[in-house]
Structure 1
Amino acid sequence: MADWSLAAGTLAVAPAPDRPELLADPVRDAVTAFPPVEASLVGVAEIDPEFADTAAFCARYGSPPELSANCVIVAGKRGGEVRYAACLVLATARADVNGVVKRRLDVRKASFAAMDEAVRLTSMEFGGITPFGLPAQWPVLVDQAVASAPALVVGSGLRRSKIIVSGALLSALPAAEVLDGLGREIPAD
């Protein structure tokens, strides 16, 4: 059994295979495709969708921001081809889009994908995008700090729930690549 308590705060977490209605369709398909032992390591919890955004979520549910990860979709062009990647960084950091991501995608310029484009391409809700169930050809770039975390809160594909999972499981996803320096710490105010 996974120990989700470090990241969960006040959430009531259940194994994701037991609560498939709390997962977006592609996320549910990805999680249920795992071997049973791995699937049981993915937790899910229902939340108020008004508190889906990371800062509001952490404040409302007592989940530490350093154990919450954001998944952002980045796009870049090379020779007329658009290349996408998902970037997974701690909530206390920002993805180094113009350095690490741009070099990894081998593009001249990289930027966050437009909200409507990210929603359409992932079949997930904005504010709930997660590394589970993304298009197979996209790399999932995982910051080393995420990969090392014992437990993390990530999106579920829906705004009304969150997934709790280890960094080890995230970095073992089929398209995952762990990259040092992907996340740049956000300076304190």
Structure 2
Amino acid sequence: MPTLERVPALTAPELLAPPVASAVTELPTELADRIEAAPIDPELADTAAFSEAYGFPLDGGANCIVVAGKRGEDVRFAACVVLASTKLDVNRTVKKLLDVRKASFAPMDQAVDLTGMEYGGITPIGLPTAWPVYVDSRVLDAPDAVIGAGRRAAKLFLPGSVLGALPHVQVVEGLALPAA
């Protein structure tokens, strides 16, 4: 099993995508100091592969999903963070939060272009400031949540409570459903 060399994210900007590195430095010290980064094999960036290879439980992994919603010609984007052991409720909860008629996962190329992050590494830290970030309330209970670092070759580690305290975050009860 590969090992993880976790270091404070503030001391390892080379592991982070540029918007993530910038955003981490702008966080209040009490939040930034609780975020660690570690290099990983980019082939293992997807949550299930990472969990299996590095021995992390799926309920400690948090997926950041970029969603696009439409109301007429207006397109609204948001990021949703849910535990890897759950499934995002796009059709009810996200549509209601965005106040749109239709919502779906944003196309990969569009999500990458708009975030400045790599697909499979998109994270709620460093997203466009106009986007709401919705975090499922269950994520707050994760003592050591694993999220992307903006690059496939690294992960961030932080308490779920820190995720819930990030700027632009709205904690939502029922954002995720149990995985089928």
Superposed pair shares fold, TM > 0.5: yes
Shift, 1:148, TM fit: 2.2
DSSP 3-state at the match of 1:129? coil
Is residue 10–residue 63 contact of structure 1 (8 Å, CA) maintained in 2?
no
Q: How far apart in 1 are the matches of 2:73 and 2:166?
A: 29
CA deviation vs aligned residue, 1:93-147 (integer Å, no higher than 9, x gap): 1110001000000000100000000000000000000000000011100001112
CA deviation vs aligned residue, 1:157-182 (integer Å, no higher than 9, x gap): 00000000111111111110111111
Could you list the runs of 5+ residues in structure 1 that have no partner in the other structure?
1-8
Residue 147 (str. 1) matches residue 140 (str. 2): yes
Residue 158 (str. 1) matches residue 165 (str. 2): no
DSSP 3-state at the match of 1:110? strand
Is residue 10–residue 62 contact of structure 1 (8 Å, CA) maintained in 2?
no
DSSP 3-state at the match of 1:85? strand
Query: Number of residue pairs matched?
Result: 179
Q: CA RMSD in A?
A: 1.1
Residue 44 of structure 2 corresponds to 51
Residue 78 (str. 1) matches residue 74 (str. 2): no
Q: How far apart in 1 are the matches of 2:167 and 2:30?
A: 16
Q: How far apart in 1 are the matches of 2:10 and 2:52?
A: 27
Could you list the runs of 5+ residues in structure 2 that have no partner in the other structure?
none
TM-score normalized with structure 1 length: 0.92
DSSP 3-state at the match of 2:77? strand
Structure 1 ranges of 4+ moved more than 4 A = none
Mapping of residues 42-121 of structure 1, within 5 Å = 42-121=35-114
